[in-house]
């Protein structure tokens, strides 16, 4: 027993000497001290003052939501915007904690991960078929509705995918098979609530259960969400040796691959005119990461050419040589912490650790505030020097831990 503890202590000391592991631990500490709770992107409708009004106005909701989201300084304290724990953010924090636990053997990270995973289980939406992740947990106002949506009402494939990844990782790292058994039921959510539908180009799903509600599929389709849904099915299919889930995931990726543009990137939606977003940075990263994971899980060369074209576009159009992230194919700014983090993850998964490290160095120089805190965005003439817990801390913690795990794996094979 003493020999085991000595080995674990030496491993912890060795990992702690790595500057990336230290930075990740600092980033997690910043979040842990705040109970993984904070402000989020587009959370202005959580303003205490707005909630006290005896009426609801679409125009007022939009003005507050968009004004707070776009302001050069953080207006949330002045509007008393409530701070919450984001569902997807909790999944990312859980995986980052599990990575650092694996690297260091420090039980603190195992306990934190378990607490976060248990919270994910407690907060899932029980009205869906199978396990499904909660939404942003704050109301949103869009142009198509007269009133704001209800927090937690919408379950989407994106948050569910990351929650499933966290559950599967925790099942193995913490030796708790119950987590995997719950994750397995997420396939019901994808096939039924998200209206998995096969057609000539493959198969596709809705972004949220609210889009179709278990009935017919409806346009538009979000391409990165489809890619992540494919990854969910592939992860579970590989974990439980269920070929039909892998085949369904492959069919969705066939559809996504068919929508790759001539330049190598992907628009946000199909059809492209359905969204103001074009080929933005981190959503293209989601698609490439899903395709790379397919390649890793199956060993198939089915999407090799698609991945090669996509990575070339991603590297040449959405990043600068020094590692700075561009917003999309035509706009440099804003340079965003979320985009930088996804770049680290994607290039790490692609095996380009050198460029992933370049992005880390750029993000540290441009967006790191110290003491584990990352700022939100760098604009052309100023930086938004505040932190969004999911958008900044969760993504960067997960990116750093992913890179650290990959480097550790490389060192073990040398």
Q: Would you call 340 helix, strand, or coil by DSSP?
A: helix
Helix (H, G, I), strand (E, B) or coil at 273: helix
Q: Name the β-bridge partners of 388.
A: none
Q: Give the pLDDT confidence of 68-114 residue by residue, as tens digits.
A: 999 999 999 999 999 999 999 999 999 999 999 999 999 999 999 99
Residue ranges covered by each domain of the chain: 19-413
Summarize the confidence of residues 286-309 as an average pLDDT.
Answer: 98
Average of pLDDT values for 129-157? 77
What is the mean pLDDT of the segment spanning 322-341? 98
- The predicted pLDDT at position 153 comes to 61
**Residue of 287, 403, 295, 393 whose CA lies nearest to 344:** 403
> What are the strands of the beta sheet with 383-384, ordered from one edge?
335-336, 377-378, 383-384
pLDDT score of 219 more than 90: no
Q: What is the DSSP string of 3-50?
A: HHHHHHHHHHHHHHTSHHHHHHHHHHHHHHTTTT-B--TT-GGGBHHH
**pLDDT (0 to 100) of residue 154:** 75
Higher pLDDT, 144 or 21: 21
Q: Are 344 and 359 in contact (CB under 8 A)?
A: yes
Q: What is the pLDDT of residue 142?
A: 81
Residue range 114-131: mean pLDDT, rounded = 92
What pTM was computed for the model? 0.94
- Residue 16 reports pLDDT greater than 70: no
What value does the mean pLDDT take over residues 341-345? 98
In tens, the pLDDT along 52-70 reads 999 989 999 999 999 999 9
Among 260, 247, 337, residue whose Cα is nearest residue 27? 337
How much is the pLDDT for 42?
A: 92
Name every residue whose Cβ is closer than 8 Å to that of residue 386 and which is 6 or more positions away in sequence: 39, 73, 74, 375, 376
Q: What pLDDT band is residue 5 in, cutting at 50, 70 and 90?
A: low
Contact yes or no for 111/154 (Cβ under 8 A): no
Instruction: Give pLDDT, residue 148.
Output: 65
Q: Indicate the burial class of 232 (C-beta count within 10 angstroms; 0-12, 13-18, 19 or more).
A: buried
Whole-number pLDDT of residue 140: 84
Nearest Cα residue to 283 out of 310, 305, 263: 310
The pLDDT value recorded for residue 151 is 53
Residue for token pair 């289980």: 121
Cα Rg, the chain, nearest whole Å: 21
Contacts of 114 (CB under 8 A, 6+ apart): 170, 174, 176
Dist CA 211 CA 153 (whole Å): 12
Burial per residue of 397-408, b for 16 or more beta-carbon CB atoms within 10 angstroms, e otherwise: bbbbbbbbbbbb
pLDDT at res. 210: 64
Average pLDDT over the chain, rounded to an integer: 92
Report domain 19-413's class.
mainly alpha
């Amino acid at each position: 027993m003493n020999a085991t503890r000595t080995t674990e202590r030496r491993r912890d000391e060795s990992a702690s000497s790595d500057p990336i592991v230290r930075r990740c631990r600092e980033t997690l500490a910043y979040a842990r001290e705040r109970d993984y709770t904070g402000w989020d992107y587009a959370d202005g409708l959580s303003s205490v003052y707005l909630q006290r009004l005896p009426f609801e106005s679409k125009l007022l909701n939009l003005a507050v939501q968009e004004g707070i989201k776009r302001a050069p300084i953080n207006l949330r304290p002045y509007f008393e915007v409530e701070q919450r724990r984001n569902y997807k953010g909790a999944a990312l924090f859980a995986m980052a904690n599990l990575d650092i636990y694996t690297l260091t053997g420090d039980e603190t990270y195992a306990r934190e991960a378990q607490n976060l995973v248990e919270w994910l289980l407690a907060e899932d939406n029980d009205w869906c078929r199978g396990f499904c992740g909660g939404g942003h947990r704050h109301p949103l106002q869009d142009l198509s509705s007269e009133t704001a949506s209800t927090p937690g009402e919408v379950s989407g494939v994106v948050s569910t995918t990351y929650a499933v990844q966290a559950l599967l990782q925790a099942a193995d790292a913490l030796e708790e098979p119950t987590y995997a058994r719950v994750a397995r039921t997420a396939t019901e959510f994808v096939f039924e609530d998200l209206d998995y539908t096969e057609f000539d180009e493959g198969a596709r799903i809705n972004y949220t259960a609210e889009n179709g509600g278990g009935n017919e599929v409806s346009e538009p389709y979000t391409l990165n969400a489809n890619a992540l849904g494919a990854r969910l099915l592939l992860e579970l299919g590989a974990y439980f040796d269920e070929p039909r889930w892998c085949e369904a995931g492959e069919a969705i990726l066939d559809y996504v691959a068919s929508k790759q543009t001539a330049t190598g990137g992907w628009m946000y939606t199909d059809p492209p005119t359905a969204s103001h977003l074009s080929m933005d940075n981190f959503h293209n990263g989601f698609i490439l990461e899903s395709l790379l994971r397919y390649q890793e899980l199956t060993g198939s060369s089915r999407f090799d050419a698609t991945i090669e074209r996509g990575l070339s576009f991603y590297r040449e159009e959405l990043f600068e040589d020094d590692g700075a992230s561009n917003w999309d194919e035509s706009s440099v700014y804003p340079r965003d912490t979320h985009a930088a983090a996804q770049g680290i993850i994607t290039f790490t998964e692609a095996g380009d650790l050198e460029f992933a490290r370049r992005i880390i160095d750029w993000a540290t120089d441009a967006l790191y505030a110290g003491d584990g805190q990352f700022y939100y965005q760098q604009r052309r003439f100023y930086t938004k020097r505040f932190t969004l817990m999911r958008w900044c801390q969760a993504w960067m913690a997960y990116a750093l831990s992913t890179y650290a795990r990959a480097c550790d794996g490389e060192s073990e094979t040398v």
